[in-house]
Amino acid sequence: MGTSGRTSVSRIGIGIVGCGEAAQIIHIPALQQLRDRFEITALCDVSPRVLDGAARQVGNGAATYADHALLAADDAVDAVLVANPDVFHAETAIAALEAGKHVFLEKPMCMTLAEADALAAAERRSGRLVQVGYMRRYAPALVRAAELVAAARGRIRFARVQDILGRNAQFIDDTSAVIRDADLPQATRAAFAARQDAGFRAAIGTDSGDLRNSYTLLLGLSSHDISAMRELLGRPLRVLHATSRHQGRVITAVFDYGDFVCEFATGIDEIARFDAYMEVFAEDVVIRVDYETPYIRNLPARLRVTRPDTVHGVAETVSFPSRLDSFVIEWTAFHRKLTEGRTPKTSVADARADLEIFQEIIGHLRAQA
């Protein structure tokens, strides 16, 4: 690869840092489906048990490492998938960029605005490319919905984004056999907890209590929602209002879009269903996208469009433009951007906007404490 980040190599070597459930259930199968474009050449995890299991799943003799810096130095690695815990995202991605690798960075991109700026600077210095893993942004239903919303500009009256769902285990346990890091020593777990505490203190000024729970929810589940909302509606002018309840684990917010508002609600409960959608109400059309759990592959996002049908009736269409898994689509986009040398839509600068919105929400929540 040249220093511009453009490459003529059609098959790209991928090194995976963090081989937990997302890698095992989602990314490794997606990359294997795209074996004409990608080859998994290296794996890294702090758990020997997880690392061995992932290596057996990949099954091609990929190199294995306990240190992400060693993986980034591997000449067989062209790009690094960063899928380790959130607090290590910026450090791992910057090390990969400094080693001359492109980066596919799972959401959330990082925890703090300072980390986002450091990532942007590292990307500029390296001449390499970073794509943030917002797979909902690549779902064909959302892409089509965005076109319909753009055509309805000026006629939008209201919008709503909701993401209330059961625990991931309720979807994963019956459908996947995930290898867990039960072998990690207590000292490693304690060091990780201390690093997390420091990360939350840097991000929101505290490492405990309701505010931490809310920021955890924003970084995790809500990063998908707010990013997809921006794809559909653009960036809001401001956060008008935000609340949290139940120790910070249920959040509502109202976003100002000038001539309309968008209501947002999110939380996790004990019901095994995935109630995640975005709905835009315009004067003469309602556009809605419903998402399914990403932990069961190839469940398509659905597009629902409601329009007038004569004076007294309505016509509703429900469709999914493709059954192709959204992760496969975003990996395909990553390959295309690498070979073309172009910036992806889910870039570092784009993802920084989500952190800014999260900070504004946290400001409202802090004021109510």
Query: Is residue 3, in this structure, part of any structural domain at all?
Result: no
Q: Is 220 found in the same domain as 260?
A: yes
pLDDT of residue 10: 76
- Residue 219 and residue 239 in contact, taking contact as beta carbons nearer than 8 Å: no
Classify residue 216 by burial, with Cβ atoms within 10 Å: 0-12, 13-18, 19+. Answer: middle
Q: Which amino acid is at 356?
A: E
pLDDT of residue 4: 33
Tokens of 366: 């802090």
The angle at the Cα of 90, spanning 84 to 95, to the nearest 5 degrees, equals: 90
Q: Is 170 found in the same domain as 109?
A: no
pLDDT of residue 141: 97
Query: Is residue 48, in this structure, part of any structural domain at all?
Result: yes
Residue 279 vs residues 153, 228, 300: alpha-carbon distances, Å: 14, 12, 17
Tokens of 171: 């979807």
Distance CA 177, CA 179 (A): 7
Distance CA 113, CA 116 (A): 5
pLDDT of residue 9: 58
Q: Which amino acid is at 173?
A: D
Contacts 24+ apart (CB under 8 A), 118-122: 118/90, 118/94, 119/90, 119/93, 119/94, 119/348, 120/348, 120/349, 120/352, 122/93, 122/94, 122/97, 122/98
- Residue 97 and residue 122 in contact, taking contact as beta carbons nearer than 8 Å: yes
Q: Could you list the residue range(s) of the whole structural domain that residue 154 is in?
A: 137-328+352-368
Query: Is residue 117, in this structure, part of any structural domain at all?
Result: yes
Distance CA 309, CA 280 (A): 19
pTM of the model: 0.95
- Residue 259 and residue 152 in contact, taking contact as beta carbons nearer than 8 Å: no
CATH of the domain at 158: 3.30.360.10
CATH of the domain at 44: 3.40.50.720
Averages of pLDDT over runs of 10 residues in the chain (369 residues) are: 44 98 98 98 98 97 98 98 98 98 98 98 98 98 98 98 96 96 97 98 96 98 97 98 97 98 97 97 98 95 97 95 95 97 97 98 94
Q: Is 86 found in the same domain as 55?
A: yes
Tokens of 146: 């965005």
Q: Which amino acid is at 43?
A: L
Q: Is 323 found in the same domain as 334?
A: no
Q: Is 168 found in the same domain as 47?
A: no
Domain count, the chain: 2
* 86: Cβ contacts below 8 Å, ≥ 6 apart: 108, 110, 111, 199, 219, 220
Distance CA 307, CA 286 (A): 7
Q: Is 103 found in the same domain as 167?
A: no
